[in-house]
């Protein structure tokens, strides 16, 4: 989100991760994220932005399967194994090694307490269970 605010751009994979986090982890209406991104993006295209948010939220005509829920930490490990992107945009985590930088909440308490970085606002596993139950209840 810092990159988006600073540059007006974000890689498509990160757009999807952000959209799924907002809609599936936080259960926030996809239209709020879609509007925010449209205001921020220098390459904002209504059809792409709107369609991407609907796809990520598993709504719309070409939706991702509702059970497709990106885990931000595992996506980070997969797409940025060395943590270079995080080091650039989240400097408070820059000193962490490549193993720990993707999920600083998993660090031991004393090490964690030395970071100027907030605790997670939601437990991804619990949020995933909640959204799965909600979508299954629609069928």
- Separation of alpha carbons 138 and 58, rounded Å: 12
Is the confidence at residue 15, as pLDDT, over 90? yes
The whole-angstrom separation of Cα 4 and Cα 128 is 25
- Please name the residue ranges forming H helices in the chain: 2-7, 12-20, 30-40, 46-56, 72-79, 84-89, 109-112, 124-136
Q: How far apart are CA 82 and CA 93, in angstroms?
A: 13
Whether pLDDT at 122 is above 70: yes
The predicted pLDDT at position 62 comes to 78
Domain ranges of the chain: 2-56, 72-119
- pLDDT of 139 > 60? The answer is no
- Chain segment 50-82, per-residue pLDDT in tens: 999 999 999 978 777 888 899 999 999 999 999
Give the integer Cα–Cα distance in Å for 69 and 46. Answer: 23
């Amino acid at each position: 989100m810092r990159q988006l605010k600073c540059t007006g751009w974000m890689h498509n994979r990160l757009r999807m991760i952000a959209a799924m986090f907002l809609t599936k982890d936080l259960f926030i209406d996809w239209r709020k994220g879609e509007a925010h991104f449209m205001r921020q993006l220098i390459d904002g295209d209504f059809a792409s932005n709107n369609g991407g948010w609907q796809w990520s939220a598993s709504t719309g005509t070409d939706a991702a399967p509702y059970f497709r829920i990106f885990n931000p930490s595992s996506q980070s490990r997969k797409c940025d194994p060395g943590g270079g992107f995080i080091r650039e945009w989240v400097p408070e985590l820059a000193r962490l090694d490549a193993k720990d930088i993707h999920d600083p909440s998993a660090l031991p308490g004393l090490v964690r307490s030395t970071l100027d970085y907030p605790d997670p606002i939601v437990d991804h596993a619990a949020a995933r269970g909640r959204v799965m139950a909600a979508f299954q209840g629609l069928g």
